Structures are given as C-alpha cells and as structure tokens.
Structure 1
Amino acid sequence: MKIIITGSLGNISKRLAEQLIAQGHAVHIITTDPGKSRVISALGATAATGSVTDAVFLGRVFAGADAVYTMVPPNFAAPDPIAYYEQVGQSYAEAIRACRVKRVVQLSSWGAHLPAGTGIIVGSHRIEEIFNGLDGVDITYLRPASFYNNLYHYVDMIKNSGMIATNYGGENKVVWVSPRDIAEATAEELVRPSVQKIRYVASDERSCNEVAAVLGAAIGIPDLQWLSFPDEQVKATMEQHGVPPLTAGLLVELNAAIRTGKMREDYDLHPPVLGKVKIEDFAREFALAFK
C-alpha cells in the first residue's frame, strides 16, 4: 500500500512510519523541514517537503495514495489556534476529495464530540465536521487522551517551585496516553477498512496525585504535589510568561474541561482497551529528561 503520513518525524509519525515500513508498505512522509529528508530516506520512506495548509501541494502528494494519516502539526505562532485547525482541515479535505483518497485516519482528540467548551480541542471537533462532509471516504477518527509528553512542560516548574500546578490537579482523574500506543493503533487502522468510525486510544487512567507520586519517585522528589489553582490565576500566569491571551484562554478552558470531567464524557461511554505504556514506564523517560 502507498500510505501518506503527516506530522514529519514527530513522536507519533516516526514510530508509525517505522511500523508501516517494516510491514512492507510504501510510506511517504510530509515535512516542512528539507533538512529531515535525509533522515526520512534513511528510514526507508519518501520525503515530501511542503505545508499542510497548501492544498495544491497536498494534492500532488496524496495522488495514488491507498491511505492517508492526517494530523495538525503544532503551530504556537498561530494568532487564532481554532482558525488554524480549520485551515489545515480544509486543505486536507480539498486534497482528499481531489485525489479520491478512500481511506483516512485522522488524529483527533478526546473531547472532540463537543462543539464548544474544550478550548483548543474545539479545533479537532471542527476538523471532524469538515471531514464528515467528504463523500466516499472511509474515515476513522482516533481520539487519544492527554499525552504523557505534555508532562514535560512541568519540568522547569518542578525544578523552580518543587511542584506541578495548573487549573486541574489533586484527585482529578485523567486519562493518559503514550505516542507509542497511538502509533500502534494508527498502524492497525490504516491497513484495514474502518471497524469503528471513532476509536479512543488510552494507556492509563490515574489521578493527578498518583501521577505526581510516580514522577516524584522517579526524579527523587517523593513528596511532589500536583496542585490546582483557579482558572483566572492560571490564565494570568500564562500571559505573564508570554502566552497570547486567546491561546491562554483556550488552554485554561481545556484544563477546566479535564477538571470537570467534560473531556471524558463520551470516552466513558466507549472506553477502549488500555495500551501497553503505563505511567511508571513514562516516568523513566521523564526522569532522564528531568536530569
């Protein structure tokens, strides 16, 4: 099969490419960085350099594809994150339609069932709506939970203040996922017709207190705490550290949706089999990064 992967050599896409190449598929990886072409070739894939907001470029790459994995690359410079999601989604949809791609796996998110109230995840909802307008395309929406990798954002906070703090924490229950488990689920979906239109992907379910205890033990701070502060206080702190007000508001809204349980409403109705990578496994990687 000719399979197109977006996301360059990111935490999911590189692992996904390696799995598909090992299975004998012809893999093409889209990247914005020409310097990564050599690494992509060394993996056994074909590099395509361009932007996922360029539908004409995507149309050239998607031509003749049996399956496409789509995701929204991070763009912290985007003045309006939701509008950026929509722009990428429209470009994908235009290329999929033009090239008559029959199989698509889209990296969405838990909470994407809601049209509002989930911060940046509203962008994932909008892309699902855009893709639902495509005719004759077999689409699976992967809805992973909170990435373990997001915990790396707290390294400096732990070093400077000895704690983790945001506008959720304590005994708030969070569903966590490893990019490795996402890559494995994506590889399964790309090479078969969709068994289910929506597939949740998760690795572990732990409270913030439990996560803090596991991470703290791994980094030598056994009394590490994860505290929850008011939404407005967290938003103000983000803005003081240079996060644009719109983006800060969306991030705080997302965190609040985790705290209230809004993010997991549909997940709880369709709980998946948990993946292989548990928080204790991730803690070993976190400790290396911390030290």
Structure 2
Amino acid sequence: MKIVVTGSLGHISRPLTQELIQQGHTVIVVSSKAERKPEIEALGAKAAIGTMEDMDFLSVTFQGADIVYAMEALHAGSFHNHDLDFVAANTKLGSNYKQAIEQAGVKRVVHLSSIGAHMAHGNGILAFHYQVENIIRQLPDDVSIKFMRPVGFYYNMFAFIPVIKTQGAIIQNYGGDEKEPWVSPLDIARVIAEEMERPFDGREIRYIASDEVSPNEVAAILGEAIGKPDLRWKVISDEQFLNGLLNTGMNPKTSKGLMEMNAVRRGGVLYEDYYRNQPALGHVKLKDFAKDFAKVYNA
C-alpha cells in the first residue's frame, strides 16, 4: 500500500515508518524540514517537504494514498510562544487535514488523537483533540477513520528532571496511589501499524497504553533507576502548579490548560472512557522506560 505518514521522524512516526517499510509498503513521510530528507530516504521512505499549515501541499501529498496517518504536531517551543493559541492552532491543523483528505479522495485515515478526546470540556489542553475528532468525523461517510487514543506518553516524564534536580521531588497538582495508564511511542507505532493491516469499517476508536502505575509508583521506579530510592511524588495546589508554569515563561493560556489537564486526572475522571474501553497493555513497561530516563537524567 501507499501510506502517507505525518509527524516527520518524531517519537511515533520514525518507528511507524520503519515498521511499515519492513512490511513492504510504500511510505511517504511529511516533514517541514528539508534537512530531514536524507534521513527519511535512508529509512527507505520518500520525503514530502512542506508544512501542515499548507493545505494545498497536504492535498497534493495525499493524492493516491491508500492510507493517511494524520497527527497534529506544533514546533518545539510552542508552549512558550505567547503569540500562539495552542488549542486553536492544533484545531486548525485538524481542519487542514480534513480538507486535504477530502480533496485528495483518500478513503482510509488513521488519526492520532488522545486520551480525553471524549470530553467536550474540562480536559484542559486536550480540548483540541475533541475538536479535531469532530472535524474529521465530518468527512464523507465513505471515508473510514480509525481514531487512535494513546494515554500519557512516558517521555513527558523527562519534564520532571529539572525539578527533581533542584527540589528533590516530582511536583505536580495530582498524585497518590490511584493507578493511571502511560504509553511508549513504540507501542503506539506498533498498534497503528497493526490497525493499518486490519479492515477499515466506518469510524472506530482504539485506546493505546503500555502500563498502569500510580504516581507514587512512578516516583519509586524512577527514583530507583536514578539512584534516589527516596524520591517522592509531592502534590501541590492547582494555583501553585499554575504559578510554577508561569514562572518558566510559559504562555498563560497554555499553562492554564496543562493545569486543568492534570486536575482532571484526579479521581480518574480523565480515564473514565478509557476504562470503559480498556485495551490490552503493550510491551514497554515503566521499568523499561526508567532506563532511558536514567540516561537522560545522568547526561
């Protein structure tokens, strides 16, 4: 099959591209950076250089594709851009995808959504996933769509490192012993490749997770990996957490969205639909990721 993969050679798109090429598919990787072209071609894929903001470019790139894998991804530093509305900008990318897919006549789409996409409000920065899913659902009925909803990414834990080093703890506005799901990009890529081989039938949703651990267990596992067995997960108020983000220079609206996203994790509200449609867990466990965490921590 001819498959278009967006997301350049990111955490998910790289292993996904490698998997699809191994399966014998023709893969076109969309990247905004021309310097990525040699690396993309070295994997055996074709490079399409352009931006997700350019709907005409997307439409041309999608022409003749058997499947399009679509994900929204803003450039690094977006959280600190005070001129950017993070939710609105991602929602616009979803609208571009919808128009380009329709213009190109693509009939099978795999869309990377997220945990929290079932919530119309109260999910903070995850709101754009709800909005984009609804935009893409407006495609004609003969377009089959698989919405992939991964949970929190392990690599988001790298953001804990500066605070661990300066304050000796993981500090968030939620915590405790209630388990929550986490996921490795490798398991996401594996599931997406698997779904591309399966029949497409209307509109489907699949959650993706690798492990289920509590915040306190996260602290214990990461602490053991970095040689700090006494590492603790400290819970602070929403206001304190928000002020901490603002003090880093983060966009105020984005900061509020992150605070709200964490707040809805308390009591498992964010995960209610996940547990109604609980998936089989993937291969990469938190203890596996902890080895990578330790390497970054000690670098």
- Please indicate the TM-score interval, normalised by the length of the shorter structure: over 0.9
Alignment of 1:1-291 (within 5 A): 1-75=1-75, 76=78, 77=81, 79-135=84-140, 136-194=142-200, 197-291=204-298
User: Counterpart of 1:87 in structure 2: which amino acid?
Assistant: K
Mapped partners of 2:168, 2:156: distance in 1: 18
TM-score normalised according to structure 1 size: 0.98
- The answer to whether the Cα contact below 8 Å between 2:74 and 2:90 also exists between their aligned partners in 1 is no
User: Counterpart of 2:115 in structure 1: which amino acid?
Assistant: W
The structure 1 segments of at least 4 consecutive aligned residues displaced by more than 4 Å after TM superposition are none
Structure 1 unaligned residues grouped into runs of 5+: none
- The answer to whether the Cα contact below 8 Å between 1:111 and 1:262 also exists between their aligned partners in 2 is no
- Equivalent pairs, count: 291
Shift of 1:227: 1.1
Shift of 1:260: 3.1
Mapped partners of 2:105, 2:126: distance in 1: 28
Aligned-pair RMSD on alpha carbons? 1.1
User: Counterpart of 1:225 in structure 2: which amino acid?
Assistant: R
User: Counterpart of 2:95 in structure 1: which amino acid?
Assistant: Q
Residue by residue over 1:167-186, the C-alpha shift from the partner in whole angstroms, topping out at 9 and shown as x without a partner, is 11222422100000000001
Residue by residue over 1:240-262, the C-alpha shift from the partner in whole angstroms, topping out at 9 and shown as x without a partner, is 11011100000000001112312
Mapped partners of 2:134, 2:269: distance in 1: 19
- The answer to whether the Cα contact below 8 Å between 1:239 and 1:245 also exists between their aligned partners in 2 is yes
Mapped partners of 2:206, 2:283: distance in 1: 16
Residue by residue over 1:147-200, the C-alpha shift from the partner in whole angstroms, topping out at 9 and shown as x without a partner, is 000000111111111110011122242210000000000111123323670000
Mapped partners of 1:138, 1:14: distance in 2: 24
User: Counterpart of 1:216 in structure 2: which amino acid?
Assistant: G
TM-score normalised according to structure 2 size: 0.95
